[in-house]
Amino acid sequence: MTERQLQARVGMFTIVAMVLVAIMVFQFGSLKNVFHPRYEIAIHFTEAPGLFPSTPVRMNGITIGSVKEVTLDNEHGGVLVIVEIDEKYRLRTDSTPSLRRTILGDSSIEFTPGVEKEFVIAGTRLHGLAPTNPMDIVNRLEKQVNKSVTSFEETSAEWKKVGVNINHLMFTNRDDIELAIQKSVKSLDQFSQVMQNTNKVLQNADLVLGDKENQANLKRTLAAMPKMVEETQQTIAAVRQTVIAVQGAVEKADQNLENLQKVTEPLGKRTTSIVVNLDATMTNLKQLSGELNDYVKLVKNKDGSLNRMIEDPELYNNLNRSAAALNVLLKNIEPIMKDAQVFSDKIARHPELMGVSGAMKGSSGLKNEPTPQAVHHHHPSRTARHTPSSAARKNKRQ
């Protein structure tokens, strides 16, 4: 290696070392605030184990600043920590700082994100939450373990008593226990049979439900269920109406019973007289029944006239022939009656046909002849006209 190469390498090493020193001074010194402006806030902790300058300050896992100074708070007690927050990260007034420690003993300050609209300004004093001391946790856990051990010892003593009681029970009731065990075995066998039967039933049900035709029928049944429910509701409504109608009928029946009671009350008062009248009526009916019995005996008597009229067919034939002869006689009499009617009408119109007196007086041919007084008052000329007419009719008949 030549002297020139050695000098070049020494120069390169010197330049790299100066660059590294400059970077470290920029990173850990106050020069970085020139390019990244920050604002300071104070945080009060009751204790701050593991905090020192340059400890990171985070929010939601992102570093937003670092610790600048850690001092004792002589005024309020505890520890006062001055932190620097990058200007681009704004903390809200309800953000709470808390001290976090890892298992290895590293510490950091964690801010919770707030929701308030106002932001923390530089120089604000906040109250932080100190981390839980592991030794305190161990002490509390030791107390809980001691309580648990005590409870376990008490429980063990109780279980010991239970074991003694069970041994005594087993020793004194060994026969009953053996019988109970035998019954339990039988019960388990029966339960096993029941489960087998249940399994068979489920298999049969699976076969039934697995059939496509049964599935279709089941679907139709389920589809008809709403209609059935509606009809059931209608039936229930009709039953309700029927019940209401029955209640109305019962009320009417009660009214009728009340009216009937009003009617029967006077009858109850006259029971004696009614019974007497019924007795007399029954006596009369008995007498009437005896008389009817006698009449029936007369009718049944073969030698009696009534029996002969009922049972002898010759009497019926005679009556039938008489009715037929009477019918023929009535038909023959009908033209004679008509002739008699015509004759009487003619005699009524012309009475002179009966003898000389009728021929002398004459007739006008009317049924109702005028009285002599009425004829006397008629005009002579009108009477004269009637007389020749009567004489002419008489001559014509002759």
Strand partners of residue 107: 101
pLDDT category of residue 34 using cuts at 50, 70 and 90: low
- Averaged pLDDT for residues 183-212: 82
Confidence of residue 388 (pLDDT cuts 50, 70, 90): very low
DSSP-assigned letters across all residues of 132-176: PPHHHHHHHHHHHHHHHHHHHHHHHHHHHHHHHHHHHHHHHTHHH
Is pLDDT of 157 > 50?
yes
Lowest-confidence segment of 6-20, 138-152, 306-320 by average pLDDT: 306-320
Burial class of 75 by CB neighbour count within 10 A (0 to 12, 13 to 18, 19+): exposed
Residue 190 has pLDDT above 50, yes or no: yes
- Give the pLDDT band of residue 354 (cuts 50, 70, 90): low
Q: How far is CA 366 from CA 78, 374, 376, in A?
A: 166, 15, 18
Q: Which residue has the higher pLDDT, 178 or 193?
A: 193
**Whole-number pLDDT of residue 308:** 67
37-61: average pLDDT: 89
Calculate helix-pair angle for 134-172, 174-210, nearest 10 degrees: 110
Q: Are 127 and 95 in contact (CB under 8 A)?
A: no
DSSP one-letter string for 242-305: HHHHHHHHHHHHHHHHHHHHHHHHHHHHTHHHHHHHHHHHHHHHHHHHHHHHHHHHHHH-TTSH
The ranges assigned to domains in the chain are 38-131, 135-260
pLDDT band of 357, cuts 50, 70, 90: low
Dihedral angle over CA of 276, 282, 287, 292, nearest 10: 160
CA atoms within 13 A on the CB side of 397: 11
Task: Encode pLDDT of 93-135 as tens digits.
Answer: 999 999 888 777 788 999 998 888 899 999 899 999 887 766 6
DSSP 368: S
**Exposure on the CB side of residue 127, measured as CA atoms within 13 A:** 3
The yes-or-no verdict on residue 25 having pLDDT over 80 is: no
Measured between alpha carbons, how far is residue 151 from residues 31, 46, 137 in Å? 63, 36, 21
Cβ-Cβ contacts under 8 Å for 109 (sequence gap 6 or more)? 43, 51, 55, 56, 57, 58, 67, 81, 83, 97, 98, 99, 100, 128
Residue 396 has pLDDT above 60, yes or no: no
Structure-token pair, residue 87: 């200007």
**Residue 42 pLDDT:** 93
Rounded to whole angstroms, how far apart are CA atoms 29 and 36?
12
Say if residues 387 and 362 touch (Cβ distance below 8 Å): yes
Given a cut of 90, is residue 35 above it in pLDDT?
no
Q: How far is residue 66's CA from residue 55's CA, in Å, rounded to a whole number?
A: 5
Look at the chain and count its residues.
398
Give the Cα separation of 66 and 108 in Å (integer).
9
What's the burial of 85, exposed, middle or buried (CB within 10 Å: 0-12/13-18/19+)? buried
E strand or H helix that includes residue 19: helix 3-28
Q: 108: Cβ–Cβ under 8 A, 6 or more apart, which residues? A: 55, 56, 57, 58, 99, 100
| Predicted local confidence at residue 372, as pLDDT | 47
% of the chain exceeding 70 in pLDDT: 81
Mean pLDDT of the chain: 78
Residue 394, pLDDT score: 44
State the Cα–Cα distance between residues 247 and 259, nearest whole angstrom: 18
Which is more confident, 397 or 76?
Answer: 76
| Residues 51, 81 contacting (CB under 8 angstroms) | yes
- Nearest one of 129, 131, 70 to 101, comparing CA atoms: 131
